Structure 1
Amino acid sequence: MWRKHTLAALRIINSTKFPFPLSDSLCFNLFYRNTSALHSSSSRFTERFGGSPFLSARTSFFPNPTILFGAKWIDILNFDHTRCFFCSESGSTEKLRRCWNCDAEGANTTPFLFCHTCRSVQPVDGSIDYFQIFGMERDYNVEVGELEREYKNWQRKLHPDLVHSKTQTEREYAAEQSARVIDAYRTLADPLTRAIYMMKLEGLIVDEEERITDLELLAEIMELREAVEEAEDAEALIQIQAQLQEKLQYWSNSFEDALRSKKYEDAHSSIRRMTYYKRANEEIIKKL
């Protein structure tokens, strides 16, 4: 039955002015060679088509049929390029990245910025998170010095003076990449925005304008505001600021522990506290 369906599908391609005629025997020989032949010629197969064929009792398939037929012809049958070809089982779901300029793929192309083959700047890849941009583990405890070094390194590579002679397309990609690097750095450099971003990576959105219902926190915030308003000089404000920094550090540590333990409600509560302490600190900075 599967052979019958395969031949029927290939006849559809053939009827749409396929680049070369396909007879039933050619269809079958092309996609369903015997297992021993595939094993004996695996190296030639890999060299010509990329990757290795999937072998099973039912079928073997080309992992990247676009290489053989071209995207135009594969799209006729609405094939999912990340799944197996003419097979009901799921294949690899790994995203195949290609350079927009030279069409290099896989190991020849960095997942984020430059193509290793032609060195052209690549478009923004939204699947790469902010930690990956800087080559860091997804960990709340960020080494700020390392983050800053990596940030400056990216900015040097994306400096307008280095891409001014490139095509309009590549200059636009460089500008988009630069903006994303800046946003990534600002997000990860601050403990609060880093915490909110890490919750987002967990699929949880934090409302920074959420109303406070915690009576204890409300009372503390009111007391803090009064202390800031009644501060007589800069020295008094600096003392309050030092207390705020201690509170921020405490709740930052609490967030890290809660996130690691997947206690998301506790993590959310920590963020709520950090949000108001940070705002109070900003008010103090304005008065200093």
Structure 2
Amino acid sequence: MWMKKFLRISAIVSRAINSTHLTSSVSIATLHDSAIFSSPLSSLSLSSLQPRSSPNLASILSRENAIFFVKDKSPFSSLSEDAKLFCWNCATKADDATSFLFCQACRSVQPLNQSIDYFQIFGLGRRYSIEDGELEKKYKDWQKKLHPDLVHSKTQREREYAAEQSARVIDAYRTLADPLSRAIYIMKLEGVPVDEEERITDTELLAEIMELREAVDEAEDAQTLNQIQAQLQEKLRDWSRSFEDAYLRKNFEDGMASIRRMTYYKRANEEIEKKL
């Protein structure tokens, strides 16, 4: 029995030595199967298994069974520096950020990786203008791969990964599908803090707020409320375009001004929805 376990360790070591992607920046995550190290072999030091030709080999062995994600410092245009990893199951290098949700080679569900932003999840560049149909299609594609009902035949580990990834995809979709939340998210990615509860000091906007509130309060029927709502939605579209223009110019001050307007118009629209 101990000989079989020793051979399994040797196989892991051999694969690691032969990997063309092995670097000193390797990172390891613990796997569930700890059977290898349940024998007296667990008392062996990793240094005793380390060949002279691979001084960093000990760092790539987890305390339990196998290599998890391996970081690669080579240039990778689609991923951030912290997200250049390999599949935990087959060690295939990802072609793009979406592979860190679902491996394209072995079809294994990958663990949650917070370094992948919402735009990367859907294979989109960090841009404000997004086609609704394009986003919805990519969202449905991910749900087909990650929905718990569709991964029931996989291991418990992958089912847990799928649940986490599915929740993140849903949050990403909801964030990017809404013009205001998308604008706020972009600003946060740019390192610009956004206080969604910031008090309004713009006198022009304050006057407009009071006027709209009066109009909503005095509305006597649904038709009038619908007309006000149509005006608000048009204002939302106008200020969405203003935000996009500011973002393209990297004028974050104007971008924040657009967000303040959009925030108010969205809240006013929600109030009308409650009355209808």
Please report the TM-score for the alignment, with normalisation by the length of structure 1. 0.69
Counterpart pick for 1:166 among 154, 157, 162: 154
CA contact (8 A) 1:99 1:109 kept: no
Q: Unaligned regions of 5+ residues in structure 1, if any? A: 1-46, 52-61, 76-80, 85-92
For residues 131-181 of structure 1, what are the alpha-carbon distances to aligned partners after superposition, in whole Å with 9 as ceiling and x for unaligned? Answer: 111112221111001101111111111122221122221111100110011
Which residue of structure 1 aligns with residue 180 of structure 2? 192
Which residue of structure 2 aligns with residue 268 of structure 1? 256
Is 1:205–2:175 an aligned residue pair? no
**Structure 1 residue 109 displacement after superposition:** 9.4
Is 1:145–2:115 an aligned residue pair? no
**SS of 2:102's equivalent?**
coil
CA contact (8 A) 1:228 1:240 kept: yes
Distance 1:74 1:180, change over 3 A: closer
Equivalents in 2 of 1:184, 1:174: separation in Å?
Answer: 15
Counterpart pick for 2:58 among 45, 56, 72: 72
RMSD, aligned CA: 2.8
Number of residue pairs aligned between Structure 1 and Structure 2 = 220
Q: What amino acid does structure 2 have at the position aligned with 1:134? A: F
**Structure 1 residue 257 displacement after superposition:** 0.5
Range that drifts further, 114-123 or 136-145? 114-123
Equivalents in 2 of 1:65, 1:221: separation in Å?
Answer: 55
For residues 228-269 of structure 1, what are the alpha-carbon distances to aligned partners after superposition, in whole Å with 9 as ceiling and x for unaligned? Answer: 010010010011011101111111111000111011111001
Which residue of structure 2 aligns with residue 250 of structure 1? 238
**SS of 2:54's equivalent?**
helix
**SS of 1:68's equivalent?**
coil
Equivalents in 2 of 1:246, 1:73: separation in Å?
Answer: 58
Equivalents in 1 of 2:146, 2:256: separation in Å?
Answer: 36
Q: What amino acid does structure 2 have at the position aligned with 1:223? A: E
1:1-288 matches, cutoff 5 A: 48-50=18-20, 63=23, 68-69=54-55, 71-73=57-59, 95-107=83-95, 111-288=99-276
For residues 35-79 of structure 1, what are the alpha-carbon distances to aligned partners after superposition, in whole Å with 9 as ceiling and x for unaligned? Answer: xxxxxxxxxxxx94516xxxxxxxxxx84586935552579xxxx
Equivalents in 1 of 2:214, 2:150: separation in Å?
Answer: 52
Equivalents in 2 of 1:212, 1:253: separation in Å?
Answer: 21
Equivalents in 2 of 1:144, 1:209: separation in Å?
Answer: 28
CA contact (8 A) 2:108 2:158 kept: yes
**Structure 1 residue 96 displacement after superposition:** 3.7
Highest RCO, 1 vs 2 (Cα 8 Å, sep ≥ 6)? 2
CA contact (8 A) 1:115 1:121 kept: yes
Equivalents in 2 of 1:152, 1:97: separation in Å?
Answer: 25
Please report the TM-score for the alignment, with normalisation by the length of structure 2. 0.72
**Structure 1 residue 82 displacement after superposition:** 5.8
For residues 197-230 of structure 1, what are the alpha-carbon distances to aligned partners after superposition, in whole Å with 9 as ceiling and x for unaligned? Answer: 1101111121110011111111111111111010
